[in-house]
C-alpha cells in the first residue's frame, strides 16, 4: 500500500507552522503501525510554491522549510529500517520560471541554455495541443518580455516546458534522478509524463519520442540502481496508458485514472457497469508491472478521462456547490464526497484493496478527514493532518496564525473529533478498520498480483470478482470478492461451479459459509456490504 | 444400447411424460396456468429417436399435446446411478418393456432413471459440439432462467445453448433474425454460433453468452428504487438516474431497425387492416367515446399517410429484452410474441411498433416499483413515477431519433402529417389496450397503468 503524504501538512517538528521532513520521520512508527509499504512524498524541492511545489526552481536542494539533505537521508534510513520504501514526486516536463536554467535561457537567443526551453516567434504552433488548466490559462504559449519570444508551457504560465529534444536537457534530468537515488530514494512518481516532447500535427501527448526517453531512463536506472520503481502519472485512457509500461522496459507502475471517478459513479448509480466497463477496456499489462489505483489524491478528483455526459453527472452528484469544482474535476476529500457515510467509505476501500493494482491512500483519508472548499486552489484537501484534539490538531506547536493552512474545526470533520489519537483508542474507528483490512490484504498476496476476473451476476447492483493465484505446488488459491453498490440490501446468485466443493471462508472473521455446490451460490448483502471469501478446498472431517 | 430398444424404452417411459411436461414453464397450461391434470391420451409421441453417439443414452422426442408440438431431450442412466437433480428435471424411474430384438440386448427389464437431458453436462456438451461449437469439451454447464418457449443452459463463460421446447414448423424466428442481423453487421446481439435443425424444425441454437450482463428491467428497477427512497423529487437529480442508459437503448433500437431493414427488406404495409383492428379493440374493451374518437382519428390519419415503411421488427421489445453488458447494450430474443403464430410474427410492421413497446415498458417499470411500496406511500410517490417515466421515455426517444440512417425505415418527415408521431401514438394506444385486456383478466390491480396511458393518448 502506498501512502501519499504532503510533507507540509503531515507534522511540524520545528514549530514554524509548516510540516517538515523531521516531522514526517517522527511519525514513521504510526505509518508502520497502519501498514504502509511505501511512502510517496509530494515535491520537496526548492520552489517558489506557486503550484504546491510542482514548480521546481532547484532539483538538487530541499525546500528550506522542509529541512535539508541530511533530513532526507535520515527519513529514508529510518523508513527502510521499518520496511517502508520512499518514493518522491519528480516533475520532468517543466520547471519553475524561477529556475536558473530558465532565467539564463530567457536572456537572449544565443546563451548556452537558449534551447533548454521551447521558444517560438509566434504563438500559433501546435494548435492541436489542448489547454490543461482551462480555469486559468488561455494558451499554451506565453510571451517573455526579455527574450521577446513566446515560450511553451502545458501547465501554468510560470511553468515553462523543458526542451527534451536538447540532449543536454535529456541528460540533465537523468542526473537529477540518479542524484536522488544515491540519496536513498526508492523511486519516483513521474509527474505529467505524457508531455515531454512536442511534434507538429500532434496533440503533444504520448509521443514515441517520450516513450523512447522513458525507456532510456529505465535502462540507466536499472543499470546503476536496481530494484527501484518508476510510477508514471499519465492521465490518459487505459489503452494509451499501457504504453508507459512498454514491454516491461519503461515504467513499473502507472496510475489508473479513469477507474477512480467510476467507482464513485457506480456507488451513486447503484450499478456496477461504470466500473466493469472501464476494466473491460483496460488492456493486460506486462509481467512485473502494476496499476496504481486510488480513490482520492492531492489533486482534484479529475474528470478528464470520462465522457462529457459522465462529467455532467459527476458534477451534478458530487459537486453541487460550484466551489467544489476545480479545473476539470472535483476538489473534495473522500469523506465529504460520500457524505461521510462510513458504509460507503468502507465499501470503496474494500474495492480499492481488492481490485487489481496497488492501492494508494491519501494522507488523512484513513481518518475520514474532511476538506475546506473555501480555501483557494487545491488547498481545500491539503489541510494539516489531524493527530489529536490538542491545539492545532497536534500537528504543530506554532501559533495558530502561523500555520500554513488552518486545520479543520467544523463540528463534523474537525480535529476535536476526527484525529489519530481518538481513533487509535477506539477499536471500532475507521482507522482501526482500515488497519485490519490492510493486514488481511497483506496475508493474501493474490490481491497484489493475482489474476482478476469479474463474475457474472444478474443483479446489476452487485459487483463480484475473483482474484486467483496458482502457488508453486500448482494449487489454485482463490479469493472471491462480492460488493453491494446499493443502499438497499441485495440478493445475488453467483456461478461458482468451477469451485464446486470448496468452502467460502470470510476473511475478516474466518467464518465458514455453506459449501459451493453445483447450483448457483446464493449470497445476500446488507446495504453497501462487501465480502472477501477465501475459497478453501474441502478438508477431511476431524475424527 | 441399440436403436431397436427404442420401443421397449418408450413403453416404460410414456406414462412419465405428461406429469413431467405439466411441471414445465414452457408447457401450455390450462386456464391461468392453474396446473395440468391432463386426461390420459391427450399426449402422443410424434417422433422418437435414440441420438447416435451420446453417452449416457439420450432420447429425442417430439410430443404432440393439445395441438402443440414439444421437443424433449431425455437422458437415461441406470437406476442405481441417478443424477442429483431438482424435482422439475426428473421424469422418474421406469423399466423398459420386454425386448423386441431377437436374443435381447440387455435393455429389456432393466430399470432406467430418466431426466431432462439439459440438466446433464455430458449431454449438453455433446449436443453443443454436434452443433459445431468448439472449445466446450470441458465446460461447466449451468442452467439459466426458464422461458416460456425454450430452456437455456450456459457452457463455461462464453456459450449459451437454447433448446426450443414448443416447436413451430420452419425456421425459428429467433434464429432467423439473429442470423440475419449478424450477417449485416449489427453487433448489439449475441452472435449465433450454431443451429441444430432436423426435419424442417429449428431445434436449438448456440449463441455467444453475454457474460456479466443484467436485464434492462433490473437496471430500471434499481434506478426507481433509488429515486423513491431519495431526498430528491426530480429523477434528473437523483443519483440513480437512468436517462443516459435509456438514451443508449434508444440508439441501439434505431440501429437494430436500420439493420433489420437491410437484412429483411423494407416493405409497404397493409395499413387498413390493422387500422381497423384498433377501433374494434376500443369497442371490445368498452372504453369511452373519447378513446374511440381518437382511435378513429389515428386510423384515418394513418391510412392517409402514403408511405409507411415496414420491416421485420423485434416484435416484443421491452426492458426485459435488452441487456446491459460491459460493452454496452444488447438486444435479446427475437422470437416475437410467443403466443402468436410464426407466420404472423414474420409480417413486416412499422418500426414504431417496437418503439411503442419500449416506451410502455418505462411506464410499467415505474409502476412495478410503485407497487413494491406500501399502498399508503404510493400516492406521495406517484409524481416521481410519472417524472421518471417521462424523463426516460424522452431520453429513449431522443436517443432513437439521433441515429443516422434511420430515415430508411421511417416515413418521410413532414410536419403536416407528422406520420411518425401518428404511428407512435397509434402503436402506443394499441399496446396499452392489449395491456388493459391482459390486466383485466389477470391483475385487476394493475388496470390503472394502461388506463392512464390510454387516457393520455386519447387527449391527443
- Of residues A97, A186, A191, A243, which has the active-site annotation? A191
Contact B219 A271 (CB under 8 A): yes
Please say which residue of B167, B184, B208 terminates a domain.
B208
Which cell numbers in the block locate residue A373? 472548499
Name which of A261, A266, A271, A310 to mutate to probe chain B: the one with the most chain B Cβ atoms within 10 A of its Cβ: A271
A183 has pLDDT over 90: yes
CATH number (domain holding residue B168):
3.30.200.20
Distance from CA of A270 to the nearest CA of B (A): 6
Which residues in chain B touch residue A273, judged by CB atoms under 8 angstroms apart?
A: 214, 324, 326
Is B240 in Cβ contact with A456 (below 8 Å)?
Answer: no
Q: What string of pLDDT tens digits covers the 460 residues of chain B?
A: 666 678 888 888 998 999 999 888 888 776 444 444 555 457 889 999 999 999 999 999 999 988 889 999 999 999 999 888 888 899 999 988 754 444 444 556 788 999 999 999 999 999 999 999 998 888 889 887 666 678 999 998 889 999 999 888 778 888 999 999 999 999 899 888 999 998 888 999 999 988 778 999 999 999 999 999 988 889 988 889 999 999 999 999 999 999 999 999 998 876 667 777 888 888 888 888 999 999 999 888 888 876 789 999 999 999 999 999 888 899 988 988 877 778 888 889 999 999 999 999 999 999 999 988 888 888 899 999 999 999 999 999 999 999 999 999 988 877 667 888 889 999 999 999 999 998 998 889 889 899 999 998 998 7
Please check whether residues B324 and B452 belong to one and the same domain: yes
Is residue A233 among the annotated active site residues? yes
Query: Is residue A534 pLDDT above 70, yes or no?
Result: yes
Main-chain dihedrals φ then ψ at residue B320, nearest 5 degrees: -75, -10
B326 touches chain A (CB under 8 A): yes
Q: Are residues B197 and B234 in the same domain?
A: no
Residues B203 and B219 in one domain: no
Q: Do A271 and B244 touch (CB under 8 A)?
A: no
How confident is the model over A109-152, as pLDDT tens digits?
999 999 999 999 999 999 999 998 888 889 999 999 999 999 99
Contact at CB, A276 and B219, closer than 8 angstroms = no
Q: Assess whether B389 and B312 both reside in one domain.
A: yes
Q: Which CATH fold would you assign to the domain A96-161?
A: Oligo-1,6-glucosidase; domain 2 (3.90.400)
pLDDT in tens, A257-275: 889 889 999 999 999 999 9
Same domain, B189 and B269: no
Q: How far apart are the first and last CA of chain B?
A: 68
3-state secondary structure of B399: helix
User: Which residues of chain B neighbour A341 with C-beta distances below 8 Å?
Assistant: none
Residues 228-287 of B with CB under 8 A from A: 229, 236-237, 239-241, 244
> What is the ipTM score, two decimals?
0.81
Q: Which domain holds residue B69?
A: 3-119
**Are B423 and B291 part of one and the same domain?**
yes
Closest CB from B212, B236, B237 relative to A456: B212
> pTM to 2 decimals?
0.86
Same domain, B142 and B115: no
Whether residue B174 is found in the same domain as residue B258: no
Query: Comparing A384 with A539, which gets the higher pLDDT?
Result: A384
Class of the A451-536 domain? mainly beta
**pLDDT, tens digit, 9 for 90 and up, residues A295-345:** 998 777 777 777 777 777 777 777 777 776 766 678 889 999 999 999 999
Residue A307, classified by CB atoms within 10 Å of its CB into exposed (0-12), middle (13-18) or buried (19+), is exposed
**Is B239 close to A461, i.e. CB distance below 8 A?**
no
Whether B360 and B415 map to the same domain: the answer is yes
Asked whether the beta carbons of residue B142 and residue A520 sit closer than 8 angstroms, the reply is yes
Asked whether the bond before B56 is cis by omega within 30 degrees of 0, the reply is yes
DSSP string, B167-236: E-SBS-HHHHHHHHHHHTT--SS--EEEEEEETTEEEEEEEE--TT-EEHHHHHHHHHHHHHTSS-SSTT
Chain B CB contacts of A279 below 8 Å: 326
A313 and B244: CB-CB below 8 Å? yes
Contact of B56 with chain A, judged by CB distance below 8 Å, is answered with no
Same domain, B63 and B132: no
- The last residue of a domain, from among B208, B232, B252: B208
End-to-end Cα, chain A, rounded Å: 42
Chain B nearest-CA residue for A314: B239
Judge whether B47 is closer than 8 Å to chain A, CB to CB: no
Q: Is A500 a catalytic residue?
A: no
* CB contact at 8 A, A455 and A492: no
Is the Cβ pair B214, A457 closer than 8 Å?
yes
CA distance B47 to B44: 9
Residue-wise pLDDT tens digits, A186-229: 999 999 899 999 999 898 899 999 999 999 999 999 999 999 99
Look at A155-164, A211-220, A363-372, B407-416 and tell me which has the smallest mean pLDDT.
B407-416
Rounded-to-integer distance, Cα B170 and Cα B221, Å: 37
Q: Is B347 left (phi over 0), alpha (psi -120 to 50) or beta?
A: beta
Residue A170: pLDDT over 50: yes
Nearest to B326 among A277, A487, A495 (CB): A277
Pull the grid cell for residue A54.
510542482
Instruction: Using a CB–CB cutoff of 8 Å, tell me whether B88 touches chain A.
Output: no
Q: B140 touching A, CB under 8 A?
A: yes
Same domain, B241 and B321: yes
Total domains in chain B come to 3
- Whole-number Å distance between alpha carbons of A53 and A47: 6
Find out whether B263 and B312 touch, Cβ atoms under 8 Å.
Answer: yes
| Interchain proximity B219–A460, CB inside 8 Å | yes
How many angstroms separate the CA of residue B449 from the nearest CA in chain A? 26
**The CATH number of the domain covering residues in A2-95+166-441:** 3.20.20.80
Dihedral of the alpha carbons of A204, A208, A210, A212, in degrees to the nearest 10: -170
Q: Name which of A264, A277, A456, A491 to mutate to probe chain B: the one with the most chain B Cβ atoms within 10 A of its Cβ.
A: A456
Higher pLDDT, B136 or A76: A76
Q: How far is A287 from chain B (nearest CA, A)?
A: 25
Q: Which residue of A has its CA nearest to B328?
A: A277
* Contact in structure between A62 and A72 (CB atoms under 8 Å): yes
Residue of A nearest to B144 (CA): A520
CA–CA separation, A83 and B240 (whole Å): 44
Of B84, B211, B218, the CB nearest to A460: B218
Q: What number of CA atoms fall less than 13 Å from residue A95's CA on the CB side?
A: 25
- CA–CA dist A447, A455 (Å, integer): 16
From B84, B119, B154, the end of a domain falls on: B119
Q: Enumerate the residues of chain A whose CB falls inside 8 A of the CB of residue B142.
A: 495, 497, 518-520
Q: How far apart are CA A163 and CA B289, in angstroms?
A: 80
Nearest CA in chain B to A317: B239
| CA B23/CA A427 separation, integer angstroms | 55
Could you state, in order of their start, the residue ranges of all structural domains in chain A? 2-95+166-441, 96-161, 451-536
- Dig out the grid coordinates for A321 from the structure: 456547490
The string of DSSP codes covering B152-172 is EEEETTTEEEEEE-EE-SBS-
- Whole-angstrom CA distances from B113 to A96, A393, B88, B143 are 82, 75, 14, 20
> B12 with B114, same domain?
yes
Amino acid at each position: 500500500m502506498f501512502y501519499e503524504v504532503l510533507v507540509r501538512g503531515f507534522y511540524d517538528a520545528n514549530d514554524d507552522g509548516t510540516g517538515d521532513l523531521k516531522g514526517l520521520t517522527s511519525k514513521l512508527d504510526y505509518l508502520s503501525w497502519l501498514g504502509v509499504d511505501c511512502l510517496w512524498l509530494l515535491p520537496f524541492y526548492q520552489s517558489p510554491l506557486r503550484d504546491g511545489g510542482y514548480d521546481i526552481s532547484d532539483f538538487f536542494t530541499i525546500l528550506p522549510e522542509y529541512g535539508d539533505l541530511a533530513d532526507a537521508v535520515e527519513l529514508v534510513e529510518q523508513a527502510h529500517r521499518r520496511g517502508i520504501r520512499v518514493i518522491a514526486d519528480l516533475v520532468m516536463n517543466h520547471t519553475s520560471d524561477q529556475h536558473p536554467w530558465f532565467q539564463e535561457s530567457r536572456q537572449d537567443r544565443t546563451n548556452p541554455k537558449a534551447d533548454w526551453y521551447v521558444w517560438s516567434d509566434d504563438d500559433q504552433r501546435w494548435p492541436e495541443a489542448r489547454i490543461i488548466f482551462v480555469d486559468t490559462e488561455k494558451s499554451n504559449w506565453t510571451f517573455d518580455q526579455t527574450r521577446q519570444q513566446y515560450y511553451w508551457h502545458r501547465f501554468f504560465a510560470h511553468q515553462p516546458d523543458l526542451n527534451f529534444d536538447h540532449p543536454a536537457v535529456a541528460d540533465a534530468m537523468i542526473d537529477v534522478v540518479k542524484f536522488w537515488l544515491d540519496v536513498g530514494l526508492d523511486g519516483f512518481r513521474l509527474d505529467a509524463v505524457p508531455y515531454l516532447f512536442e511534434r507538429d500535427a500532434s496533440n503533444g501527448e504520448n509521443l514515441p519520442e517520450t516513450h523512447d526517453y522513458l525507456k532510456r531512463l529505465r535502462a540507466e536506472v536499472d543499470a546503476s540502481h536496481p530494484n527501484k520503481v518508476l510510477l508514471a502519472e499519465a492521465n490518459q485512457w487505459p489503452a494509451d496508458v499501457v504504453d508507459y509500461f512498454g514491454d516491461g522496459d519503461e515504467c513499473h507502475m502507472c496510475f489508473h485514472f479513469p477507474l477512480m471517478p467510476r467507482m464513485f459513479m457506480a456507488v451513486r448509480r447503484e450499478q456496477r457497469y461504470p466500473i466493469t466497463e472501464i476494466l473491460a477496456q483496460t488492456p493486460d499489462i506486462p509481467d512485473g508491472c502494476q496499476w496504481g489505483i486510488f480513490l482520492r489524491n492531492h489533486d482534484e478528483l479529475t474528470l478528464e478521462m470520462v465522457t462529457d455526459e459522465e462529467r455532467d453527472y459527476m458534477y451534478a452528484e458530487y459537486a453541487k456547490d460550484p466551489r467544489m469544482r476545480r479545473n476539470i474535476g472535483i476538489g473534495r476529500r473522500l469523506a465529504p464526497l460520500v457524505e461521510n457515510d462510513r458504509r460507503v467509505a468502507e465499501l470503496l476501500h474494500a474495492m480499492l484493496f481488492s481490485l487489481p493494482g496497488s492501492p494508494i491512500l491519501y494522507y488523512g483519508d484513513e481518518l475520514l478527514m474532511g476538506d475546506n472548499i473555501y480555501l483557494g486552489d487545491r488547498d481545500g484537501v491539503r489541510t494539516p493532518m489531524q493527530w489529536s484534539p490538542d491545539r492545532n490538531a497536534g500537528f504543530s506547536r506554532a501559533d495558530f496564525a502561523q500555520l500554513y493552512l488552518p486545520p479543520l474545526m467544523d463540528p463534523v470533520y474537525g480535529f476535536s473529533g476526527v484525529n489519530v489519537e481518538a481513533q487509535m483508542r477506539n477499536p471500532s474507528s475507521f482507522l482501526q478498520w482500515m488497519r485490519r483490512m490492510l493486514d488481511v490484504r497483506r496475508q493474501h498476496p493474490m490481491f497484489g498480483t493475482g489474476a482478476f476476473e469479474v463474475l457474472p451476476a444478474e443483479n446489476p447492483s452487485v459487483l463480484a470478482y475473483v482474484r486467483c493465484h496458482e502457488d508453486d505446488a500448482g494449487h489454485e488459491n482463490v479469493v472471491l470478492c462480492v460488493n453491494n453498490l446499493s443502499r438497499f440490501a441485495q440478493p445475488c446468485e453467483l456461478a461458482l461451479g468451477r469451485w464446486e466443493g470448496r468452502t467460502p471462508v470470510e476473511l475478516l472473521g474466518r467464518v465458514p459459509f455453506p459449501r459451493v455446490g453445483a447450483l448457483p451460490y446464493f449470497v445476500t448483502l446488507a446495504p453497501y456490504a462487501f465480502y472477501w471469501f477465501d475459497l478453501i478446498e474441502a478438508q477431511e472431517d476431524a475424527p | 444400447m441399440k436403436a431397436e430398444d427404442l420401443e421397449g424404452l418408450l413403453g416404460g417411459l410414456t406414462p412419465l411424460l405428461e406429469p413431467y411436461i405439466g411441471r414445465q414453464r414452457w408447457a401450455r397450461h390450462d386456464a391461468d396456468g392453474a396446473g395440468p391434470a391432463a386426461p390420459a391420451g391427450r399426449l402422443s409421441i410424434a417422433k422418437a429417436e435414440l441420438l447416435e453417439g451420446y453417452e449416457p443414452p439420450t432420447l429425442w422426442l417430439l410430443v404432440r399435446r393439445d395441438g402443440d408440438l414439444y421437443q424433449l431431450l431425455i437422458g437415461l442412466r441406470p437406476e442405481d446411478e441417478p443424477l442429483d437433480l431438482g424435482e422439475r428435471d426428473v421424469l422418474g424411474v421406469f423399466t423398459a418393456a420386454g425386448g423386441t430384438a431377437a436374443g435381447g440386448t440387455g435393455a429389456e427389464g432393466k430399470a432406467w432413471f430418466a431426466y431432462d437431458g439439459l440438466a446433464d453436462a455430458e449431454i449438453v456438451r455433446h449436443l453443443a459440439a454436434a452443433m459445431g461449437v468448439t472449445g466446450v469439451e470441458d465446460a461447466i454447464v449451468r442452467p439459466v432462467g426458464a422461458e416460456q418457449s425454450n430452456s437455456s443452459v450456459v457452457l463455461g463463460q462464453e456459450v449459451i445453448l437454447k433448446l426450443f421446447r414448443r416447436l413451430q414448423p420452419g425456421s425459428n424466428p429467433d434464429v432467423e433474425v439473429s442470423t440475419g442481423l449478424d450477417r449485416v453487421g449489427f453487433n448489439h446481439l449475441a452472435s449465433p454460433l450454431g443451429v441444430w435443425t432436423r426435419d424442417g424444425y429449428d431445434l436449438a441454437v448456440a449463441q455467444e453468452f453475454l457474460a456479466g450482463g443484467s436485464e434492462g428491467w433490473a437496471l430500471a428497477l434499481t434506478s426507481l428504487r433509488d429515486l423513491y427512497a431519495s431526498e430528491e423529487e426530480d429523477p434528473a437529480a437523483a443519483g440513480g438516474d437512468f436517462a443516459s442508459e435509456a438514451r443508449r437503448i434508444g440508439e441501439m433500437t434505431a440501429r437494430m431497425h436500420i439493420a433489420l431493414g437491410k437484412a429483411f427488406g423494407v416493405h409497404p404495409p397493409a395499413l387498413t387492416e390493422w387500422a381497423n383492428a384498433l377501433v374494434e379493440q376500443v369497442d371490445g374493451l368498452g372504453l369511452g367515446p373519447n378513446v374511440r374518437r381518437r382511435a378513429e382519428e389515428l386510423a384515418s390519419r394513418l391510412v392517409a399517410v402514403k408511405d409507411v415503411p415496414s420491416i421485420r421488427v423485434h416484435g416484443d421489445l421491452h426492458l426485459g429484452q435488452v441487456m446491459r453488458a460491459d460493452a454496452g447494450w444488447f438486444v435479446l430474443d427475437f422470437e416475437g410474441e410467443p403466443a402468436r403464430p410464426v407466420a404472423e410474427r414474420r409480417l413486416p410492421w412499422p418500426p414504431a411498433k417496437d418503439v411503442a413497446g419500449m416506451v410502455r415498458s418505462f411506464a410499467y417499470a415505474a409502476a412495478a416499483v410503485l407497487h413494491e411500496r406500501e399502498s399508503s406511500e404510493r400516492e406521495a410517490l406517484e409524481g416521481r413515477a410519472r417524472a421518471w417515466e417521462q424523463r426516460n421515455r424522452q431520453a429513449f426517444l431522443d436517443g432513437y431519433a439521433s441515429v443516422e440512417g434511420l430515415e430508411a425505415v421511417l416515413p418521410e418527415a413532414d410536419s403536416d402529417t407528422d406520420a411518425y408521431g401518428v404511428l407512435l401514438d397509434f402503436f402506443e394506444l394499441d399496446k396499452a389496450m392489449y395491456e388493459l385486456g391482459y390486466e383485466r383478466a389477470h391483475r385487476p390491480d394493475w388496470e390503472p397503468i394502461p388506463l392512464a396511458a390510454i387516457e393520455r393518448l386519447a387527449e391527443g
